[in-house]
Amino acid sequence: MATGLAPAARRVVIEPFVDPPEETLPGQATWYASTCRQCPAGCGIVVRTINGRAKKIEGNPLHPLNQGKLCARGQAGLQVLYNPDRLRNAVRQSGGRGSRKYEPLYWTEALDLLKEKVASLSHPGRLAFLGGLMPDHVYQLTDRLLAALGAAPAVIYDLHSTLEGRGPAQQLSQAFFGTGDLPVYDLAQSDAVFSFGANLFETWMSPVAQSVAFGSMRQGALSGRGFIVQFEPRLSATGASADEWVPVRPGAEGFVALAIGRIIVEERLGHVGSHRDHAVLYQNVDVGEMSAASEVPVDTLRRLAKAFADADRAMAIPGGYLAGQQNGFASMLAVQALNLVVAQIGRQGGVFLSTPAPTVALRNKPRVNPFSDVLNLINRMNAGEVDLLIIHGTNPVYELPAATGFAEAITRVPYVISFSPFVDETAVWADLILPDHTYLESWGYQVPSPGTDRPVISGQQPVVRPLYDTRSTAQVLIDLAARLGGSAAEAIPWAGEETYLQEMITGLYGSSLGAFDARTSAGFWTLWRQYGGWWSEKEIRREPEITDIVQKPLPMSAPQYFGDPEEYPFHLHLYSSIALTDGRGANQPWLQETPDPMTTVQWGMWVELNPQTAESLGVGDDDIVLVESPYSALEVSVVIYPGIRPDVVAIPIGQGHQDYGRFAQAVTGSNPLGLLAPVTDPDADSLAWGATRVRLLPTGRKKKLARLESLDGQGRESIG
Amino acid sequence: MSEASPNQPKHANHPDQMPEFEERLLLAERKDWEINEAVLQPMFKTGRGFWILVAILGAIVLWGLYAWGYLIYWGMGTSGKNRPVYWALFITTFVFWVGISHAGTMISAVLRLLKADWRRPITRGAEAMTAFALLMAGLYPLIHLGRVWKFYWMIPYPNNRFMWPNFQSPLMWDLVAIFTYLIGSSLYLYLALIPDMAMARDYTDGWRFKLYRVLALGWRGTEAEWHKLHRALGIFSVAIIPIFLSVHSIVSWDFAVTVQPRWHSTIFAPYFVIGAVYSGLSALASILIIVRRSMRLQEFLRSEHFDSLGKLVLVAGMAWVYFWFAGFIVEWYGNEPIVRELIHEEVSGRLAPFFYLQMSANVIPIILLVFKRIRTTPVLLLGTTLLVNVGMFTERALIVIGSLQRNDLPFNWGSYRPTWVEISIVAMTFAGFALLYTLFSRIIPFVPVWEIKEGRLRYTLRRIGRLLVPTAAEME
Amino acid sequence: MAKDANQSVEGSIRWALVVDLDRCTGCQACVVACHAENNMQIVGEKEAAYGRWTHWIIIHRYWEGEYPNVKARFMPVMCQQCTEAPCEPVCPVFATYHNEEGLNAQIYNRCIGTRFCGNACPYKVRVYNWFRPEFPEPLAEQLNPDVSIRTRGIIEKCTFCIQRIRRTEIDARAEGRSPADGEIQPACVQTCPTSALLFGDLNDPDSRVSQLAHSHRSFRLLPELGTDPGVIYLKGGEVNV
């Protein structure tokens, strides 16, 4: 295969071709290595292009993270590039904000306007930058620019990171290992994985890398087949791949972990030897109480504790669902502590940290801000303290719970600039849209976080010439700095983004670790592009140093929910759709038509009910129910779902777009985030998106969902 | 034909003496020209009702053609089919029309061979029904194609790529069988028509004369011509029977050769044939009753004909029930999961209304037809035979659409809802059939005059001493 | 493959796909990869709800048991490339036929849309183009030039990415060798994150697929029908924790 190593032109087809584009032969594919930007994982991709058009995205087989594999979203990246609803040039909203009437602008005009808006601020503090899934290089440029202007650093919020609990996970790492780097869970070599609400093979952290590891854990390892136990209130697709599903009361996952730990320590299970060091962790834990609170029987807890302790390489994973509770951080601590109890920190099949690349310049990564920073920004916007709001890589009107009031707050900001390539719900409220290139047209790099067993930097390069008159945000920032002059121009002295990138990666040139050698820095640049980044040839794991957290009892915090249990009897369990993730994929028809693995529904949105719950409400499949929280209500069709607790109802996130293009808007429904109460986990200062209660009211109407499966078949494999 | 003396019958003098004899004596008191007049007159008189009927039927046909055009232009998606119900109302109606077409041959070939004399006045109507029903049936293999403009790829024509159709496919057998049957039955219809065309030629002028002159092929009624006609009809009668059996067997194999549960059955071929005869004979009875009334042919189509036809329907119906039961009991006891599921669906599930409709509509007529009063009362017989065809249509729909909703993997089950396009096209063929039949009845003598005259010769009254004795002559 | 591709003998190759159900997580990457590789049309919610989607590979999800002891299992189902394919004899125009490499090939240009094969297929993996495909500009820029776009009125199905088989064979031949085992990867196999899918020559005793085909976990879908599929499933294991 010619995977990104060289253009695949080995045989020349003789054909008249008067003006051949660079590196192109008619009918001959050229593969370009780059980085997927459909989620923050940073998988390496190779893109097949023919005659200047991108035709197929595949995983980069040399990339250590995803090893040639790719998920559904990565495959669908072409529909970001060729999306019919992309903005084709810089625009100004001519009919006022929210009018959806646009007037095209030349880039010189647009940049002048941008410069004028920044330069005319009465105080740099009145500029706010709201970022989301920003590529590292754009974030670093933004950071430099904001610092040079004297403005506050960018506030980073996006729904995807929120749902996977990225912020709390970073804090967990800080608490346990004294570093903000996300740990790597060595799934491939583990033989007993206890996943607490981590949807490992769907959207959590680095799903492709985790799936690759799962494949070898199941059938690739010489030591036999590993098993997974999944603890969560709703059986996710990951739970379906697990060997056992333990339906825990929402928010009580930490109690299960505490009880398992207590049993192991108390009964001296396993082969670790002395548990004396860990006794202090569990000195306040009562297994009976924990069992009652989590509704997991003591027998089950004991059985699982034994299985966990007896396994050679057991591992517990604190997942994103935990972070969605108001006691999320305490639960995550309890889960991570299990790895300590079985001495799996820094060991094979356990938890380790990835080694950073030998260049400091690349280490500045966007870190998810505490949720109070977001609320604070909204307050400032409401108070009229923000004169200019710049938004990149996030869609807060859609991605923040409506109860936070962002949609009202944005109207109070005098001028809003968006970098979105699509007119999403937030861009509708922007005065000026400076559409970024899509990732297949852009330069960049990305340090995967969580990483893998070796230092990796994924490189991003344009695989096709930009389709439209859009401009990369990195270039816009560089141009803006040049126009602003002064400290900004000093902070960002580069002429263009390519030179900026080249300079940023020079630290890697000459490193003895690299998987490729170059004699000159120009040669290094070429190989960087051909490989699609830089990574170490050999595995280099970093053993975490455990902080003094292990010397005091683990915190125990009861779950709290918003909404009166009498009035609102059900827990609302939102989860990110495997195809649409946090709604970002909703404008890609392939992802819309991709069936949800568990319900097999294509397009559409739904609420999942336990058969028992549905019966008590008197509703069946496809019946529309009104889901009502103390904040809002929405109507949605029912899916009878055997794998969910009777007191929990689940709705996938991703649909309910008011804007964001024809494919996203084709699906009727409301954004389920509207139901959420803006409550937080005080320990991690993160949005507790799983802590709202709702009630259901049958409407008596029906809407047929586009299921792949036949309802008559009742989910059976055969009827023998 | 043997010469028989045209004795003047005096049956009017013996009204209750010999009822059986009277029936056989078919129009014996009429003169030849009177018979000719009686048959031809209704053809020339077209009242307002006729034109209204033609207009209505024509409108339905035009609407159906529009629906077909719509289907071709937009794609098969405008029909209600989906995965896994890839065949639905079109194929159901196709099977139905092929079934209807079977009665013509049944009546005229089998009864001709068996020398059943009561067939004589109804053969023309039966043969026309066969031809028109086949024409309608033949539309469906075209209509249901996804790319109808490529239909000719099914025809084995020589081409430079040596691309031939696949004769392993039952659809190819279908194509061959239906074409053969259509050609055979059309020729058969036409052969028996020639003497009547000549008769009509001699009685008409204007455009009708020109038409009949061409169609009569110069028939003059010589002994040699009659001899040849009889031989030809004899050959055709024998030859068309295997074709008639093969056509519906092949239609059944469209289903039975697949591994689709409930289709994959050995009894399908005879079951389909007998079902075809049952529905075809019923349709014939219905049509004859309607035509008899609208064209005032009471004199020719009399209660004894309906009595005999009713008996045939009764026999076919009982045979159908036997075959149905023979298939059903094996499926039932076989207890294969999917078949069991389908039986449950029919007996107590979603398909139950259709199942009970088809069972009652197919079985109740059998009970009714036992009674002579019902067989000989046109209105009652009309209702009964229409009921049979409702039942038979439902039965085909259950076989085609019902079965396809279930298959070996429950994940892949499905359901089906017809659209206006399908219903319009199905209505188009019903209206088209009726329209063709209506127009046909105004151009072609509906009652085969020469056959009636021939039959009249067979039964005579001879005076032996003081007794009038009915005699029957062996003619063929 | 041991033999030189230049001198391949007819019938010497039997392409097969191994689906390891123990690895499959139901993630749908194969589904989208297949759409991207094979120029499938997008039908939209209304048509999809009526069973008119065009996926060549679908992941069946089966429920077992009742809450709380409930399990869900995934099973990817694509064209089984049967040796005794029920779909082949019923096509009146040879639009579907068996090629010498064991593939159940579908010639889109030849298909006239009787849908007989769709009825005959017990796995129901054949999908039909109910309407004209639409690719709003510039989505058509993505279309794979190696695969023809199917118009309305014809049946399509999984081809084992025959264009990728041929491309790899041609590239290998240009280098004077045969494709190595595992070198040919249909789009689904290429992308499958857990490597649950594996492609190769079943007639080559050294290939991984033929070795896995002899695994005690192997089974075929609906074996009682005698279709002899070219897709081999490996049962999911289970650990009683």
Minimum-distance CB partner of C241 among A68, A218, A307: A307
Give the count of Cβ contacts less than 8 A between chain A and B. Answer: 34
One digit per residue, the tens of pLDDT, for chain C of length 241 reads 444 444 444 458 999 999 999 999 999 999 999 999 999 999 999 999 999 999 999 999 999 999 989 999 999 999 999 999 999 999 999 999 999 899 999 999 999 999 999 999 999 999 999 999 999 989 999 999 999 999 999 999 999 999 999 999 999 999 999 999 999 999 999 999 999 999 999 999 999 999 999 999 999 999 999 999 999 999 987 766 6
* A58-72, A462-476, B34-48, range with the lowest pLDDT: B34-48
In percent, how much of chain B has pLDDT > 90? 65
A515: distance to nearest CA of chain C, Å?
23
Cβ neighbour number for residue B74 with a 10 Å cutoff: 15
Residue A10 clears pLDDT 90, i.e. is over it = no
Residue A430 clears pLDDT 70, i.e. is over it = yes
Output the CA–CA distances (angstroms, integers) from residue A332 to A210, A325, B67, B239, C69, in the order listed.
19, 10, 64, 86, 26
Q: Are A164 and A198 in contact (CB under 8 A)?
A: no
Minimum-distance CB partner of B408 among C62, C128, C222: C222
User: Is C152's CB within 8 Å of B151's CB?
Assistant: no
Q: What is the dihedral of CA B371, B376, B379, B383, to 10 degrees?
A: 50
pLDDT the model gives residue B161: 84
Q: What is the pLDDT of residues A524-555, one digit of tens each?
A: 999 999 999 999 999 999 999 988 887 889 99
Q: Are A713 and C58 in contact (CB under 8 A)?
A: no
Residue B278 clears pLDDT 50, i.e. is over it = yes
C85: distance to nearest CA of chain A, Å?
21
Q: What is the pLDDT of residues A570-614, one digit of tens each?
A: 999 999 999 999 999 999 999 999 999 999 999 999 999 999 999
In percent, how much of chain A has pLDDT > 90? 81
Residue with the larger pLDDT of the pair A519 and B320: B320
Residue in chain C lying closest to A709 (CA) = C60
Minimum-distance CB partner of B86 among C61, C115, C152: C115
pLDDT the model gives residue B24: 47
The yes/no answer on whether domain C15-234 falls in CATH 3.30.70.20 is yes
Cβ neighbour number for residue A502 with a 10 Å cutoff: 18
User: Is A240's CB within 8 Å of C36's CB?
Assistant: no
Cβ neighbour number for residue A166 with a 10 Å cutoff: 24
Those of residues 379-398 in A touching chain C at CB distance below 8 A are none
Local structure of B169: helix, strand or coil: coil
Chain C residue numbers touching B92 (CB-CB < 8 A): none
pLDDT the model gives residue B116: 82
Minimum-distance CB partner of C130 among B75, B144, B153: B75
Which helix (H) or strand (E) segment holds residue A707: the answer is: strand A706-707
pLDDT the model gives residue B9: 44
User: Is A712's CB within 8 Å of B415's CB?
Assistant: yes
**pTM of the predicted protein model:** 0.92
pLDDT the model gives residue B255: 95
User: Is B257's CB within 8 Å of C118's CB?
Assistant: no
Sorted by where each begins, the domain ranges of chain C are 15-234
Q: Are B145 and C112 in contact (CB under 8 A)?
A: yes
Pairing of strands A623-628, A533-535: unpaired
C129: distance to nearest CA of chain A, Å?
15
Minimum-distance CB partner of C23 among A57, A76, A219: A219
Q: Are A673 and A405 in contact (CB under 8 A)?
A: no
Look at residues A279, A35, A258, A291 and name the one whose alpha carbon lies nearest to residue A138: A35
Chain A residue numbers touching B414 (CB-CB < 8 A): 710
Alpha carbons within 13 A on the beta-carbon side of B43: 19
Could you tell me if B412 lies within 8 Å of chain C, comparing CB atoms?
A: yes
Residue B283: which pLDDT band, with cuts at 50, 70 and 90?
A: very high
Q: What is the pLDDT of residues B287-346, one digit of tens each?
A: 999 998 888 888 788 888 899 999 999 999 999 999 999 999 999 999 999 999 999 999
Interface predicted TM-score (ipTM) over 0.85: yes
Look at residues B379, B305, B383, B390 and name the one whose alpha carbon lies nearest to residue B126: B305
Rounded CA gap, A322 and A330, in Å? 9
C229: distance to nearest CA of chain B, Å?
15
Could you tell me if C118 lies within 8 Å of chain B, comparing CB atoms?
A: yes
Q: Given its phi and psi angles, is residue C94 left (phi above 0), alpha (psi -120 to 50 degrees) or beta?
A: left
Q: What is the pLDDT of residues A24-82, one digit of tens each?
A: 666 778 899 999 999 999 999 999 998 888 999 999 999 999 999 999 999 999 999 99
Residue B18: which pLDDT band, with cuts at 50, 70 and 90?
A: very low
Residue in chain B lying closest to A720 (CA) = B337
pLDDT the model gives residue C237: 74
Could you tell me if B81 lies within 8 Å of chain C, comparing CB atoms?
A: yes
Rounded CA gap, B146 and B370, in Å? 46
Chain B residue numbers touching A715 (CB-CB < 8 A): 410-411
Residue in chain B lying closest to C93 (CA) = B165
A709: distance to nearest CA of chain B, Å?
5
Residue B458 clears pLDDT 90, i.e. is over it = no
Compute the mean pLDDT over every residue in chain A, rounded to the nearest whole number: 91
User: Is B412's CB within 8 Å of A713's CB?
Assistant: yes
Exposed / middle / buried, residue A221 (Cβ in 10 Å: 0-12, 13-18, 19+):
middle
Residue A23 clears pLDDT 60, i.e. is over it = no
Residue A22: which pLDDT band, with cuts at 50, 70 and 90?
A: low
Name residues whose C-beta falls within 8 Å of residue A623's C-beta, 6 or more positions apart in sequence: A637, A638, A698, A699, A700, A701, A702
* A388-402, B38-52, C183-197, range with the lowest pLDDT: B38-52
Rounded CA gap, B175 and B142, in Å? 11
pLDDT the model gives residue B203: 86
Give the count of Cβ contacts less than 8 A between chain B and C. Answer: 138
Chain B residue numbers touching C122 (CB-CB < 8 A): 259-260, 407-409
Chain C residue numbers touching A597 (CB-CB < 8 A): 25-28, 59, 61, 74
Name residues whose C-beta falls within 8 Å of residue A605's C-beta, 6 or more positions apart in sequence: A636, A637, A651, A652, A654, A655, A656, A667, A669, A672
Considering only CB atoms, which residues of chain A are within 8 Å of chain B? Answer: 708-710, 712-720
Pick from A484-488, A636-640, B197-201 the range whose average pLDDT is largest. A636-640
Residue in chain B lying closest to C111 (CA) = B147
Q: What are phi and psi of A353, to 5 degrees?
A: -110, 150
Residue B216 clears pLDDT 70, i.e. is over it = yes
Chain A residue numbers touching C235 (CB-CB < 8 A): none
pLDDT the model gives residue C130: 96
Could you tell me if A217 lies within 8 Å of chain C, comparing CB atoms?
A: no
Name residues whose C-beta falls within 8 Å of residue C115's C-beta, 6 or more positions apart in sequence: B81, B86, B87, B144, B146, C128, C155
Compute the mean pLDDT over every residue in chain B, rounded to the nearest whole number: 88
Question: For testing the chain A interface, which of B411, B412, B417 should be mutated: the one with the most A CBs within 10 Å?
Answer: B411
Chain B residue numbers touching A714 (CB-CB < 8 A): 410
pLDDT the model gives residue A345: 92
Minimum-distance CB partner of A642 among C27, C58, C66: C66
Could you tell me if A204 lies within 8 Å of chain C, comparing CB atoms?
A: no
For A589, the token pair is 């028809």
Those of residues 412-471 in B touching chain A at CB distance below 8 A are 412-415
Minimum-distance CB partner of A84 among C48, C55, C137: C137
Sorted by where each begins, the domain ranges of chain B are 19-472
Q: Are C21 and C196 in contact (CB under 8 A)?
A: yes
Look at residues A146, A121, A96, A88 and name the one whose alpha carbon lies nearest to residue A471: A88
Q: Are B448 and B104 in contact (CB under 8 A)?
A: no
Pick from B104-108, B185-189, B300-304, C53-57 the range whose average pLDDT is largest. C53-57
pLDDT the model gives residue B448: 87
Could you tell me if B164 lies within 8 Å of chain C, comparing CB atoms?
A: yes
Residue with the larger pLDDT of the pair C45 and B468: C45
User: Is C94's CB within 8 Å of B172's CB?
Assistant: no
User: Is A719's CB within 8 Å of B341's CB?
Assistant: yes
User: Is B410's CB within 8 Å of A720's CB?
Assistant: no
Q: B19-472 falls under which CATH superfamily?
A: Formate dehydrogenase/DMSO reductase domain (1.20.1630.10)
